[in-house]
Structure 1
Amino acid sequence: IDEATELFEAAGADVSPLAKDGDRIRAGSRVMSVSGPLAGIITCRRTALGFLSRMTAVATETSEAVGKADGVPVTSYDASTPGFGDFERKAVAIGGGIMRSGALDSCILIRKEHARACGSLRNALSRLDRAPFFLKKEAEAGDEDEARAIAEAGVDIVLIRGKDADAAKRIADAARSVSPGISVEVSCGKDEASAYRGIADIVSIDGLIADAGFTPFRIEML
């Protein structure tokens, strides 16, 4: 709503929002009234509807995931749309999720691909001392041994992907046995999130942004 309002106002239109970001609305509901120069309204119409459609879809997908997570905090895992990621991540927050930073330099993340490129996970972890001390550090663990190595390296967050709840618990317990304060992130589908209650500090939902699609909106001329 906020972004569409700004676009119409920039085109010289007067906008009266009939809903606010985060409201639940029914299909067919009016969300804003726009009046003013027709040329300006038509010029920005498609862009404004694009913001509404995409952000509403992501927020709705997130809200559904949060509802299924049974109290486990939810964030997005997948990449966002180039040039539009800030708005998609904002939509995650509007839907009740945790907004993840989109900046690649906001943290250090060691995935299994990085570990493989370095020869081993321990080799990759040994390079963390080159990173600025103020950056959060996260590393993916595929088993208990890797989880313990990650915790021993002083990493802030252990990432668990592609594991059922039992395997994830063993990996999380291994990391916490070395570093009780380490955070655990589990990547999973939205229908599986509640299974990680008591295991994960946060679940990152596969496809939360990428699979959200668009919610249709239209303008009616009165």
Structure 2
Amino acid sequence: MRGDICMKALIERFIEEDLSGYIEFLPEIEARAVVTVRENGVISGISDAIAVFEYFGVSARTWFEDGNRITKGDLILEAEGDARGILKAERLSLNILGRMSGIATLTARFVERAGGVKIAGTRKTTPGFRIFEKRAIIAGGGDPHRFNLADMVMIKENHISLFGLERAIELGKQASFTKKVEVEVSAPEDAVRAAELGADVIMFDNMPPDKIRETMAMLEARGLRDHILFEASGGITLENITEYAESGVDIISVGAITHHAPWLDFSLKIV
């Protein structure tokens, strides 16, 4: 219930942003509109788009769910009601569909090339829109990773610069028994040391695939591979994702699935 209230509040904030200063000039008239997609992809944000129409008293229906594949020309939803409500809802609903479906589509492309290795998002998201972008990642078959700083103890380069690796991990483990401790490393010896100090997750930051493969072999030889998750991150693209997936890691986190995702193109027409 609280989640529904939160989503409604966010949508109301988006509506206020879009309609602030709106001038009412059309008379009331009943109309029907259809939303279609102009390119292939994976849909996300359909329930949110419908919620925008319903906010304005317009009934809307769809034949799709988040995560469904869609094809150029597909009729995504129909809306019926006061034409003024349809036009008020038009831009915001299409923006939500376009942004979320673009992320879901790009995520799905990474997932397809990862060969079973989990694809995860990052916190490189649009301020205020993170919850929608994380849901879009899920729709595309990915893992949302951390939603905020409290979801996991993440020890990054700056933490290590401040306290040193051993002390940073010690402090991280004191935070809460419920939180996993993830350590970012950029050298093989740091990965070995983090594993010896009890890290739950080790992230290879901007390490090339061949170096990760060597490090994984080193960890295996020392009996440090089991019970630790290994993650690759930094500079990962559709062109090199296969190499990273074959390096032995369990997770590949990709900021590009949010900050480089092109929007999917949707159109609304009054019929």
TM-score above 0.5: yes
Other-structure match for 2:242: 194
Given that 2:173 and 2:181 are in contact with CA atoms closer than 8 Å, whether structure 1 keeps it comes out as: no
Counterpart CA distance in 2 for 1:41 and 1:131 is: 49
Counterpart CA distance in 2 for 1:169 and 1:206 is: 22
Gaps of 5+ in 1: none
Deviation at 1:113, TM superposition (A): 2.3
Counterpart CA distance in 1 for 2:237 and 2:170 is: 32
| Matched position secondary structure for 1:77 | coil
Other-structure match for 1:140: 184
| Matched position secondary structure for 1:16 | strand
1:221 to 2:270 alignment? yes
Other-structure match for 1:184: 230
Other-structure match for 2:4: none
What is the number of residues matched between the two proteins? 221
| Matched position secondary structure for 1:87 | helix
Match of 2:206 among 159, 162, 167: 162
RMSD over equivalenced CA pairs, Å? 1.7
Other-structure match for 1:116: 161
Counterpart CA distance in 2 for 1:38 and 1:181 is: 58
* Cα distance change on mapping 1:128 and 1:19 into 2, 3 Å: closer
Deviations along 1:73-130, one digit per CA (max 9) or x if unpaired, are: 1111351111111111111111111122312101000111221233x32332232243
Identity of counterpart residues, as a percentage?
A: 27
Given that 2:124 and 2:255 are in contact with CA atoms closer than 8 Å, whether structure 1 keeps it comes out as: no
- Report the structure number with the largest CA radius of gyration: 2
Gaps of 5+ in 2: 1-45
Other-structure match for 1:207: 256
| TM-score, normalisation: structure 1 | 0.92
Match of 1:37 among 71, 82, 86: 82
Other-structure match for 2:100: 55
Deviation at 1:20, TM superposition (A): 2.4
Q: In structure 2, give the amino acid aligned to 1:152.
A: E
Given that 1:78 and 1:207 are in contact with CA atoms closer than 8 Å, whether structure 2 keeps it comes out as: no
| TM-score, normalisation: structure 2 | 0.76
Deviation at 1:12, TM superposition (A): 0.9
